[in-house]
Amino acid sequence: MPLIKLYFSPALVLLMVSCLLWQHGKSLTIPRKHLTHQCVLDAAKLLKNITNVLSKDELFRGINCTTQSVELSTTTNTAFLCSPKGLTCSEIPKSEFDRESCLTNIEEDLRQYYKFLATHPEPTLLIELRQFMEDCFPWSLFSELPSAQAAAVRDSTFNERQRLCKVLKGFHVRTITINRAFAYINSFEHNK
């Protein structure tokens, strides 16, 4: 009987150690904020959809949207945080890239644009934006956001259409930043 105990003891220890290492390795290989190649493609699709919406004359009745200024969200720092490592074109050289901060700021931008769009008559873009957010940021809870079906389907005033144009132009610029950031993250250049 003592021989059997000696035989099973090393086997049990080996099993326990390998289980612990497997669990530890498993948790390291699946990051909380995983960005798939599909998200890169979906970001490009979102940019194309925003471009298409900006070209809809009926949405901006009486306004030449191309001559309007751009209204960018200033509550986040996405442009700086999502700049590639080693960037030297800004006044402050960027020595590190913080992937988590970049994605968190992108997520916050998307929430702000979603909330804005939910009050305007463009449900198609709102539905596409929500799908993009749910697919590429699955760790976030978007239940506090209004549903895409609750989008305002009503006539809008001149000032509302003008603001929609300006904000959509800002969203267009931000989506270009998002596309560049997603491509950079997906290329794994920031890990070098």
- DSSP H or E segment with residue 10: helix 2-29
Residue 51's pLDDT is 96
CA 185 to chain centre: 12
Q: What is the mean pLDDT of the chain?
A: 78
Longest pairwise C-alpha distance within the chain? 93
CA 63 to chain centre: 30
Encode pLDDT of 73-90 as tens digits: 889 999 989 988 776 665
Q: What is the mean pLDDT of residues 46-57?
A: 94
CB count in 10 Å sphere of residue 70: 14
Rank 81-95, 138-152, 177-191 by mean pLDDT and report only the highest. Answer: 177-191
Encode pLDDT of 148-169 as tens digits: 555 555 677 899 999 999 999 9
The Cα 86–Cα 97 span in angstroms is 9
Residue 104's pLDDT is 93
The Cα 100–Cα 81 span in angstroms is 9
Q: What is the mean pLDDT of residues 32-57?
A: 88
Residue 63's pLDDT is 92
Q: Is the separation of the CB atoms in 184 and 84 below 8 Å?
A: yes
Q: What is the mean pLDDT of residues 40-64?
A: 93
Residue 30's pLDDT is 34
Residue 7's pLDDT is 47
Among the ranges given (43-47, 111-115, 162-166, 184-188), the one the predictor scored with the smallest mean pLDDT: 184-188
Q: Is the pLDDT reported for residue 127 higher than 50?
A: yes
The Cα 177–Cα 186 span in angstroms is 14
Percent of the chain whose predicted confidence (pLDDT) is above 70: 68
Q: What is the mean pLDDT of residues 32-45?
A: 83
Angle at alpha carbon of residue 112, lines to 107 and 114, rounded to 5°: 90
**Structure confidence at residue 124 as a pLDDT band (50, 70, 90):** confident
Q: What is the mean pLDDT of residues 49-70?
A: 92
Residue 184's pLDDT is 92
